[in-house]
Amino acid sequence: MRDGDPAAGLQAYVVGGWVRDRLLGLPHQDRDWVVVGASAEEMRRRGFRQVGRDFPVFLHPRTGEEYALARTERKTAPGHTGFQVYAAPDVTLEEDLARRDFTINAMAMTPDGRLVDPFHGAEDLQTGVLRHVGPAFVEDPLRVLRLARFAARLDFRVAPETAKLARELARSGELAHLTAERVWQELQKAMAAPHPRRFVEVLRDVEALKALFPEIDALFGVPQPAKYHPEIDTGEHLLLALDAAARLTPDPRVRFAVLLHDLGKAATPPEQWPSHPGHEALGVPLVDRFCRRFKAPRHYHRLARRTARHHLAVHRALEMKPATLLRLLEELDAFRQPREFERFLVACEADARGRKGFEEVRPPGVDYLREALAEAAAVDAGQVAPHLTGKAVGEAIRALRRQRLARLRARWRERR
C-alpha cells in the first residue's frame, strides 16, 4: 500500500452522482467508489470497515468515503428490497453499472479523471434526457419515483421507452410495496428540487400519480371556480402554484404545503363553490390522512394543514372585519410563531400566483396580513391598565389589537 493508503493498488472507480454532477458543472462533494476484483476479506485486511449488511460496503479508514464491491442483483421478491446480491472479484465494472437506474447515473471515473461510460450517459446529460440503463429497470418500483424526482431536479425530459417501462411498473401493482418512508424521502427531495412541478407531471404521465398520491391525481379535470381562473382546471392550477412556490422560496415545507393546499376541491361539487367555497375545510382531513400515510414530519404537516384551511385568507383579508382578522392571526398562532406565519403567507402567495397572467402579480392580501401581524403584535401587557388581572388582561390586549387593526384597515382603504 503506497504511502500507507489502504486504497492503493485497488481497481477503484468513482461512480454515480459525483460523476454526473461533475459533468453537469454542479457541486460535487461526496464520492462513492466501486471496487473491481477485490473480496470482502481483502478490504477488511486493508483496514476498511464494513458497514453494508445486504452487500459489502466499506468505509475508508481515513477519508470515510464509501467503497462498495462491484455487484450484480437478481429479483427474488416484490418491492424495492426484494433482490439477491452477488458481490465477488469476478464482477466487472460494466456489470455493476448495468444494474443502475439511469444512464446518467451509470458512469464511472478513474482516480486520474478518465470517464468510463458504457451506456452513453454523458450524451444523455448533454441532450437532457432521463433514460433507463436496461430492462431490469422494471424490477425496482422505487425507480418510478426516482425518475420523477430527477426530472424535478434537472428538468430533463423522459425518454419515451423509459416512460413506457415506468408505466408498466405503475400498472403492475409493484408501487404498493414501497414503504411510506421511501416514498416520503423521494417526495421531500422533489419538493426541494428546482422544478417541483415536474415531479407531479412525470408521475401523472406514467400513471403512477393515481397509485401513489390519488388525492393529487383527483385534482386534474376538476374545474376551477369561475371567480378565480376558470380557464384552467385545478390540477393545472396546482402546477402553476408549484412553479410560483419554486420562484418564491427554496423551502420544501412551503412547496409541500402548496402541493396539498387544494385537495378539498376534488371533494366539493363545483356547483357549490359560488355560495359555499367549503373546499378549505374539506381539505384538512385529506391533508391529515396524506401526512399520516407517509409519516410526514410534524412541521410539514402543520404548515400544510394551516395552508389548506386558510389559504383563501389572502383573497379575503382586505374585506375582513378587525375581529375576524384577529381571530385568523390567533388560529394561525402567528404571535407565537411568526416564522411559521411567514411560511404560510408565502404558500398563499404561490397559490394566488398560480393563475395564467398572474405569475408575477403580488397579491395585496399578503402584505396586508404581514402588516396586520406587525400592528397587532405591537400591543403588549404594558399598555393595559395596571388594575386588570387574569383573563381581563388578555381581553384588554385583544381590544387594543382590534383597534390597531381597524386603523390599519382604514389606511389601506384610503390607499385604494
Q: Write the pLDDT tens digit of every residue in 377-386.
A: 998 767 766 7
Residue by residue, DSSP assigns 333-398 as: TTTT-HHHHHHHHHHHHHHHH-STT-TTPPPHHHHHHHHHHHHHHT--GGGS-TT--THHHHHHHH
Q: What is the pLDDT of residues 212-239, one digit of tens each?
A: 999 999 999 988 766 656 678 899 999 9
Tell me if 1-127 shares its fold with 213-363.
Answer: no
Select from 312, 396, 299 the least CA-distant residue to 354: 312
Q: Which residue has the higher pLDDT, 381 or 76?
A: 381
CA–CA distance from 46 to each of 39, 42, 62, 161, 237 (Å)? 11, 6, 12, 44, 57
Q: What is the pLDDT of residues 160-203, one digit of tens each?
A: 999 999 999 999 999 999 999 999 999 999 999 999 999 999 99
Confidence band, pLDDT 50/70/90 cuts, at residue 77: low
Q: What is the pLDDT of residues 317-361, one digit of tens each?
A: 999 999 999 999 999 999 999 999 999 999 999 999 998 888 888
When pLDDT is averaged across residues 258-263 and rounded to a whole number, the result is 96
* CB-side neighbour CA atoms (13 Å) of 282: 15
- Of how many residues is the chain composed? 416
What is the rounded distance in angstroms from the CA atom of residue 279 to the CA atom of residue 265?
A: 5
The highest-level CATH class for domain 1-127 is alpha beta
Decide: helix, strand or coil at residue 32: strand
Cβ atoms 103, 124 nearer than 8 A: yes
Q: Is the pLDDT of residue 149 over 70?
A: yes
Confidence band, pLDDT 50/70/90 cuts, at residue 75: low
Name 155's Cβ contacts closer than 8 Å, sequence gap at least 6.
128, 194, 195, 198
Beta-bridge partner residues of 108: 15, 116
CA 361 to chain centre: 25
What is the rounded distance in angstroms from the CA atom of residue 259 to the CA atom of residue 251?
A: 13
pLDDT at position 269, please? 63
Cβ atoms 314, 347 nearer than 8 A: no
Q: Which residue has the higher pLDDT, 4 or 230?
A: 4
What is the rounded distance in angstroms from the CA atom of residue 194 to the CA atom of residue 154?
A: 8
| Domain ranges, ordered by start, for the chain | 1-127, 213-363, 381-416
* 3-class DSSP string for 45-78: HCCCEECCCCCCEEECCCCCCEEEECEEEEECCC
Q: What is the pLDDT of residues 263-303, one digit of tens each?
A: 998 877 655 554 445 557 788 999 999 999 999 999 999 99
- DSSP 8-class letter at 86: E
Q: What is the mean pLDDT of the chain?
A: 90
Q: Is the pTM of this model over 0.85?
A: yes
What is the rounded distance in angstroms from the CA atom of residue 225 to the CA atom of residue 135?
A: 45
Decide: helix, strand or coil at residue 87: strand
When pLDDT is averaged across residues 94-118 and rounded to a whole number, the result is 95
The highest-level CATH class for domain 213-363 is mainly alpha
Q: Is the pLDDT of residue 53 over 80?
A: no
* Dihedral sign (CA 233, 238, 239, 243): positive
Mutual angle of helices 391-415 and 322-331, in 10-degree steps: 120
When pLDDT is averaged across residues 258-265 and rounded to a whole number, the result is 94
Decide: helix, strand or coil at residue 206: coil
Cβ atoms 93, 119 nearer than 8 A: no
